[in-house]
């Protein structure tokens, strides 16, 4: 057991998968390294072995994510759920049912996720657009799906985590405003520093000390995928507490910045309370 941090330590984007990955052992690793709070993000439907043909078919993925969260909470960790539809689903779904139906199914999946937020089971939506090159009609459909997520978020008063192309996503603040949602409620997962959205930076990101000094609001994430078939993918479940410890010990971030990363920004963005148990 490492010495505890003076504040909560929050991973803004992590997956835990007891079927295809290390599951609760990964959550325990996070905890042993000093982690206290995590935003657990739904994995794509194919991780659950489902091929949705209607929005309700995402129910299995969401229910399983809910039950994983319940198990992780038993370890003493605080878990906030981010439910939604992975933007890369459009490519797989369109290959089977065509682009127009894929769009409807994905919007329906977001509607279903919204129901869990209304019930207080989840705190934010996950959406975005493909991070890889796609034909213009697929990009247009993806932007309409993202627009739908932004409208739902405004109705629910919740945040949206987006997974999108590398780079700033400079057009997304205007999309959010058009939906009636403030851009401060839109989090860019795997962010690059120039984004106008709320950046969720990978824990090892070199911009973290400079962001801290500049007074910017941002969060840290592992993007741990918990897939045994891809053990080296991104970084491990301990990465947020580990890099936080390293930055703190090296004097690269102050306790005030620590608080801003792990408490203030996620509390304000997601409207949740983050404090030590």
| Shortest distance, position 28 Cβ to Zn ion, whole Å | 20
- Return the number of the residue (90 or 258) whose C-beta is nearest Zn ion: 90
d(CA 42, CA 106): 14
Cβ proximity to Zn ion: between 11 and 223 the closer is: 223
Tokens 């520093």 locate to: 193
- What percent of the chain is helix, strand and coil (3-state, nearest 5)? 45, 15, 40
Q: Are the C-beta atoms of residues 48 and 65 closer than 8 Å to each other?
A: no
Q: How far is the CB of 10 from Zn ion (least distance, A)?
A: 15
When the beta carbons of 7 and 88 are compared against Zn ion, the nearer one is 88
3-state secondary structure of 264: helix
Q: Which is nearer to Zn ion, 36 or 200 (CB)?
A: 200
Tell me the two tokens of residue 210.
């400079």
Q: How far is the CB of 50 from Zn ion (least distance, A)?
A: 18
Angle at 158 between CA 138 and CA 269, to 5 degrees: 105
Mask 219-248, x = binds Zn ion (CB under 5 A)?
----x-------------------------
Task: Note whether 89 and 106 are within 8 A (CB).
Answer: yes
CB nearer to Zn ion: give 103 or 223.
Answer: 223
Contact positions with Zn ion (CB under 5 A) in 165-224: 223
Residue whose C-beta lies closest to Zn ion: 223
- Least distance from C-beta 100 to Zn ion, angstroms? 27
| CA distance linking residue 53 with residue 101, whole number of Å | 8
Which is closer to Zn ion, CB of 5 or CB of 17?
17
Compute the least distance from the CB of residue 200 to Zn ion, in Å.
Answer: 10
Distances (CA, A) of 144 to 102, 147, 185, 197, 230: 12, 5, 18, 18, 31
Least separation in angstroms between CB 135 and Zn ion: 24
How many residues bind Zn ion (CB under 5 A)? The answer is 1
Residues that bind Zn ion (CB under 5 A): 223
């Amino acid at each position: 057991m490492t010495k505890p941090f003076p504040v909560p330590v929050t991973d803004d984007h992590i997956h835990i998968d007891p079927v295809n990955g290390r599951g609760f052992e990964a959550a325990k690793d996070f905890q042993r390294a000093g982690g206290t709070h995590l935003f657990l993000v739904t994995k794509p439907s194919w991780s659950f072995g489902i091929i949705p043909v209607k929005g309700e078919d995402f129910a299995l993925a969401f229910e399983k994510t809910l039950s994983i969260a319940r198990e992780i909470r038993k370890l003493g960790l605080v878990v906030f759920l981010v439910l939604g539809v992975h933007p890369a689903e459009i490519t797989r779904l369109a290959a089977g049912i065509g682009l127009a139906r894929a769009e409807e199914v994905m919007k329906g999946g977001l509607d279903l996720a919204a129901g869990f937020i209304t019930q207080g089971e989840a705190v934010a939506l996950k959406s975005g657009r493909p991070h890889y090159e796609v034909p213009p009609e697929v990009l247009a459909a993806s932007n309409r799906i993202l627009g739908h997520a932004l409208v739902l978020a405004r109705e629910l008063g919740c945040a949206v985590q987006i997974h999108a192309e590398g780079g700033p996503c400079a057009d997304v603040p205007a999309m959010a405003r058009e939906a009636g949602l403030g851009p401060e409620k839109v989090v860019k997962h795997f962010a690059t520093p120039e984004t106008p959205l709320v950046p969720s930076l990978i824990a090892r990101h070199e911009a973290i000390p400079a962001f801290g000094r500049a007074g910017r609001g941002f969060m840290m994430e592992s993007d741990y995928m918990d897939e045994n078939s891809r053990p080296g993918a991104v970084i491990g479940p301990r990465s947020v507490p580990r890099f936080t410890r390293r930055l703190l010990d090296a004097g690269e971030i102050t306790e005030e910045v620590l608080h801003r990363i792990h408490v203030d920004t996620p509390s304000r963005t997601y409207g949740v309370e983050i404090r030590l148990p």
